[in-house]
Amino acid sequence: MSTATTPTAAEAELAVQSRQAETKSLGYWAGVFKRVRRDPVTIVCGALLLLMLLAIVFAPLIAPHDPYQGSMIRRLRGIGTLGYPLGTDELGRDIVTRLLYGGRLSWFMGIVPVIFAFVIGTTLGVTAGFMGGKVNMAIMRTTDIFYAFPSVLLAVAISGALGAGIFNAILALTLVFIPQIIRVAESVTQGVRNLDFVDAARASGASGFTIVRVHVLGNVLGPIFVYATGLISVCMILSSGLSFLGLGTKPPEPEWGLMLNTLRTAIYVQPWVAVLPGACIFVTSICFNLLSDGLRQAMDVKG
């Protein structure tokens, strides 16, 4: 007979009670921090992202060459070339240096639109969820219009209409992610607005703004933040895709998506050099996804 490995209902209930007891004894955020520390995947992904962040922030200090200076006699050198450990690109520029400086723009275009979308989407979503009625109808039906289009096509269409450039790409990506955060914010606010402590605040004569600021936001910002963290990886991929299509960063600025575009013609000459920007995008996106999953599980007391 094979031994069952799935937990029984009693074991699952015991695990939930254990997490809730831990939260009560330590406090919510202390309990979240303790559960994160016990998750090796989340710790490893967080450490990798921190190392990447430090590398791109201090790129001027650690980069071995100028990111814009090339040489036609050094073009498309392979990995392991003396003085160019990861080779050179189609214009003879050092790949290590370009990746470090390119990470600055890639991270900037992956995080900034999510921050803008988080602020705007949370404001509109919480307003729709708390106010209800016609306000909810107007905001959510407008949001549904954006859901009629896939995120990729919507980002390409907006960026194409506005024109190439970093600012236009950030604006396009912000508009893509605002509806997604609005829907999450509205959903979690709907679950909080009729709880006992909110009703008690209403009965005490507190204004709607005070109730939202003091009682609602503290209970809804956590789930919205975790969801927004998961969007960073998607935003980074979309921003790289826009640069690859010529709708984002313009040459000669280093950016991972743009580097993929310029190196695609060298795939048959130096394939390992050509795929390095894509590998950076892949690793960063996976780390952000796994970090978001770890935070979600740590913050879910019932899970």
Residue-wise DSSP of 202-214: HHTT--HHHHIII
pLDDT, position 14: 53
**Residue 287 contacts by C-beta under 8 Å, 6 or more apart in sequence?**
45, 46, 48, 49
> For position 41, which CATH number holds?
1.10.3720.10
- Domain assignment of residue 19, yes or no: no
> Does 5 map to a domain?
no
Q: Which tokens in the block code for residue 112?
A: 């900034």
Q: Which residues of the chain have pLDDT under 50?
A: 1-6, 303
In a domain, 230, yes or no: yes
Say if residues 258 and 10 touch (Cβ distance below 8 Å): no
Predicted confidence at residue 59, as pLDDT, reads 94
Give the pLDDT score at 15: 55
The per-residue pLDDT for 142 is: 92
Name the H helices within 163-255: 166-192, 196-203, 208-211, 217-244
Domain-embedded: residue 295:
yes
Stated pTM of the model:
0.85
pLDDT at residue 297, as a whole number: 84
The pLDDT, as a whole number, for residue 24 is 53
Count of domains for the chain: 1
Percentage above 70 pLDDT, the chain: 89
Within the chain, how many helices (H) and strands (E) appear?
14, 0
pLDDT digit string, tens, across residues 202-255: 888 888 888 888 888 888 888 899 899 989 999 999 999 999 998 988 888 999
Q: Is the peptide bond before 252 cis (omega within 30 degrees of 0)?
A: yes
> Residue 81 pairs with which residues in a beta bridge?
84
Which residue range(s) make up the domain with 144?
27-299
Residue 230, both tokens: 């998961």
Half-sphere exposure for 105 (CA within 13 Å, toward CB):
25
10 in a structural domain: no
pLDDT of residue 2: 42
Note whether residue 11 is domain-resident: no
Within-domain flag for 41: yes
Residue 84, helix vs strand vs coil: strand
Q: Flag whether 135 is in a domain.
A: yes
